[in-house]
């Protein structure tokens, strides 16, 4: 289990990730910039899996790289604006979870491009502009009492974790 510095990261409701993970596990979903097709796909996945995640006793927290004035309308579009979220333009949460900046293979490889085209056209997760951390890689972490107990660090920006499975207690 990895210990991370969750005590300094405050969510939109004023609590820290450490506070939130003290009484039940937290699924921390660190998104790429919110203009990214894959971030929007991830938001739809969280929305679709939310009930099962919460029924497992896990609380969902989102981390994003934008200012809240940009993020909240996008979260609302996916019905997730009621979730606690962390605005992290400096990517401190991401770095504490071991998420790095992606290179060309992680962000622009042909397979990533085609998956992005499919997500945009077929699933209607249109890309938008964001100047926030366009190279930052995403990830998802199950945090219990301030410790990462499970992690999904994306190998490419187009990876698609199963959040519900990440929250299962085996």
- Residue 110 is part of a domain; what is its CATH number? 3.40.30.10
Residue 112: the pLDDT is 58
Report residue 42 as tokens: 């991830």
26 domain residue, yes or no: yes
Residue 33: the pLDDT is 86
166 domain residue, yes or no: no
Residue 168: the pLDDT is 84
Distance CA 15, CA 59 (A): 13
The ranges of the chain with pLDDT < 50 are none
**How many other C-beta atoms are found inside a 10 Å radius of the C-beta of residue 75?**
23
169 domain residue, yes or no: no
User: Is-contact 155 106, C-beta < 8 A?
Assistant: yes
165 domain residue, yes or no: no
Q: Are strands 139-144 and 85-87 parallel, antiparallel or unpaired?
A: unpaired
Residue 157: the pLDDT is 76
110 domain residue, yes or no: yes
167 domain residue, yes or no: no
Distance CA 42, CA 165 (A): 14
59 domain residue, yes or no: yes
Ramachandran angles phi, psi of 62, nearest 5°: -105, 145
Cα of 90 vs its chain's centroid, Å: 15
**How many other C-beta atoms are found inside a 10 Å radius of the C-beta of residue 31?**
28
168 domain residue, yes or no: no
Give how many domains the chain has, as a whole number.
Answer: 1
- Domain encompassing residue 24: 2-159
Cβ-based neighbours of 135, under 8 Å, separated by 6 or more = 101, 102, 107
Q: Is 47 helix (H, G, I), strand (E, B) or coil?
A: helix
> Whole-prediction pTM value?
0.87
């Amino acid at each position: 289990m990895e210990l991370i510095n969750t005590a300094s990261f405050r969510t939109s409701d004023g609590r820290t990730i450490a506070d939130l993970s003290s009484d039940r596990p937290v699924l921390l979903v660190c998104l790429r910039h919110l203009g990214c097709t894959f971030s929007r796909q991830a938001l739809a996945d969280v929305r679709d899996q939310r009930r099962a995640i919460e029924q497992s006793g896990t609380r969902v927290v989102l981390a994003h790289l934008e200012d809240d004035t940009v993020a909240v309308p996008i979260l609302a579009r996916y019905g997730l604006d009621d979730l606690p979220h962390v605005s992290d333009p400096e990517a401190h949460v991401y770095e504490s979870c071991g998420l790095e900046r992606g290179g060309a293979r992680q962000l622009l490889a042909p397979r990533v491009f085609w998956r992005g085209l499919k997500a945009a056209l077929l699933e209607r997760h249109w890309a938008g502009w964001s100047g926030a951390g366009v190279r930052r890689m995403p990830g998802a972490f199950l945090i219990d009492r301030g410790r990462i107990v499970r992690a999904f660090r994306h190998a490419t920006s187009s990876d698609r974790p199963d959040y519900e499975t990440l929250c299962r207690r085996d």
